[in-house]
Amino acid sequence: MRTATAYFFSILCLTAHFAFASSLPASAGRLAAGTQAEGGRAFTSLTSEKGSFVIELTLAEKELRAGPNILDIVLRDGSGNGVQGAQLSIVPWMPAMGHGVWDKPRVRERGGGRYHVDNVAIIMSGVWELKVGVKAGAATDRAVFSFPVANEAFAEREPAKREQGYGRSWAAYQVPNLTLIDQDGKMVNLSALMESGKPVILDFIFTTCTTVCPVLSAGFANLRRELGRDAEKVQLVSITIDPENDRPETLKRYAQRFGAGPGWEFLTGSRDEVGSVLRAFDAFAADKMSHEPLYLMHAPHAAKWLRIEGIIGKSDLVGEYRKMRSADAGR
């Protein structure tokens, strides 16, 4: 279910990015939505930036759409011959927002310079680039295709309404046994951290977020103030969903903004490691801009986690934590 935050971003992008599309120049290695239909499919041809290749890109549909896309590429050299055995990379990128997506497109060679690409995930409306990188022998080059993406379903769908303002449920999760890096650059085994004998509260943030993440982190900071001397008896864990940019030193600066101290860990790792954690806790979002507010609470040795979705007030978060502790003490 999409929250009001995700809904807001969808409308914002739909408005801003079409204006951006009209300003993109069509030049060598870059094409601004100059496509022509071929049998109901969108076809675009572009010479790569260094002039090494001609890249013919055909979408499976008449336009690039929000959601998974499929496309075919024909790669030719300067003489028009098909280039076989090339390594192709496809990167969906939203230039005005400065981000891509988690899921990686899959490329499969079909022979004769033809390549099939699926899992091209587009996660919101606006202007998107498909950055096509090519390595063939000693030659490396790239081309950037630009497409407007409009999905009326984003604008029509109403955010879910919750009487409390947040939703709560219980779920069992298997904590991944992997090692991440904390804000001090130290290696931390996630499973050991989560099973240290303390109650745990987990959230997912990124340091350049200006909407949901500061609210989540302020909730943690307020919880620590309310607990006072007992603050270190609960293990708070904030894992970045932007690991490429949020390295330990960046997380440390972010932690200082919220007065974090012992008992509050900020963790990063590789893209795949963070993705594994997100999937393990059913918190995966195709992109950092579409993630939703979420806290996960766990009492020591409990079989299930309390899942709190949506924006929860500071006093409600403290109340939920104390209810969990009381229930645990009564076992």
Mark whether 66 and 188 lie in a shared domain: no
Under the banding of pLDDT at 50, 70 and 90, the label for residue 331 is low
Mark whether 181 and 318 lie in a shared domain: yes
Mark whether 196 and 313 lie in a shared domain: yes
CB atoms under 10 Å from CB of 302, counted, come to 17
Mark whether 12 and 131 lie in a shared domain: yes
Does 220 have pLDDT greater than 90?
A: yes
> Given this model, what pLDDT does residue 330 score?
56
> Given this model, what pLDDT does residue 100 score?
76
Does some domain include residue 57? yes
SS3 at position 285: coil
pTM strictly above 0.75: no
Mark whether 35 and 99 lie in a shared domain: yes
Under the banding of pLDDT at 50, 70 and 90, the label for residue 39 is low
Q: What is the C-alpha R_g of the chain?
A: 23
Instruction: Among 130, 155, 180, give the residue marking a domain's end.
Output: 155
Does some domain include residue 59? yes
Instruction: Say how many domains are in the chain.
Output: 2
> Which range has the top average pLDDT, 46-60, 151-165, 312-326?
46-60
Under the banding of pLDDT at 50, 70 and 90, the label for residue 126 is confident
Residue length of the chain: 331
Does some domain include residue 129? yes
> Given this model, what pLDDT does residue 29 score?
58
Mark whether 146 and 178 lie in a shared domain: no
Mark whether 89 and 179 lie in a shared domain: no
Does 53 have pLDDT greater than 50?
A: yes
Q: HSE of 326 in the Cβ direction (CA atoms, 13 Å)?
A: 6
Mark whether 172 and 287 lie in a shared domain: yes
Tokens matching residue 244: 């490429």
Which of residues 330 and 191 earns the better pLDDT score? 191
DSSP bridge partners of 76? 54, 82
CB atoms under 10 Å from CB of 185, counted, come to 12
Does some domain include residue 199? yes
Domain boundaries, position 252: 166-329
Mark whether 29 and 79 lie in a shared domain: yes
> Given this model, what pLDDT does residue 18 score?
32
Whole-number average pLDDT of the chain: 83
Strands 139-149 vs 126-136: parallel, antiparallel or unpaired: antiparallel
Does some domain include residue 62? yes
> Given this model, what pLDDT does residue 5 score?
44
> Given this model, what pLDDT does residue 24 score?
34
238-253 average pLDDT score: 96
Does 191 have pLDDT greater than 50?
A: yes
Which of residues 35 and 225 earns the better pLDDT score? 225
78-88 average pLDDT score: 96
Does 19 have pLDDT greater than 60?
A: no
Under the banding of pLDDT at 50, 70 and 90, the label for residue 23 is very low
Does some domain include residue 38? yes
Mark whether 145 and 185 lie in a shared domain: no
Distance CA 45, CA 56 (A): 4
Instruction: Among 155, 188, 209, give the residue marking a domain's end.
Output: 155
> Given this model, what pLDDT does residue 186 score?
97
Does some domain include residue 230? yes
Mark whether 32 and 130 lie in a shared domain: yes
Does 165 have pLDDT greater than 80?
A: no
> Given this model, what pLDDT does residue 273 score?
94
Burial of 169 (0-12, 13-18, 19+ CB in 10 A): exposed
Does some domain include residue 161? no
Nearest C-alpha neighbor of 251 from the set 218, 220, 208: 208
> Given this model, what pLDDT does residue 327 score?
77
Chain segment 248-264, per-residue pLDDT in tens: 999 999 999 999 999 99
> Given this model, what pLDDT does residue 161 score?
39
Mark whether 121 and 40 lie in a shared domain: yes
Instruction: Among 155, 183, 207, give the residue marking a domain's end.
Output: 155
Nearest C-alpha neighbor of 262 from the set 229, 297, 294, 295: 229
213-238 average pLDDT score: 94
Does 26 have pLDDT greater than 60?
A: no
CATH number of the domain where residue 314 is located: 3.40.30.10
Percent of the chain with pLDDT over 70: 82
CATH number of the domain where residue 44 is located: 2.60.40.10
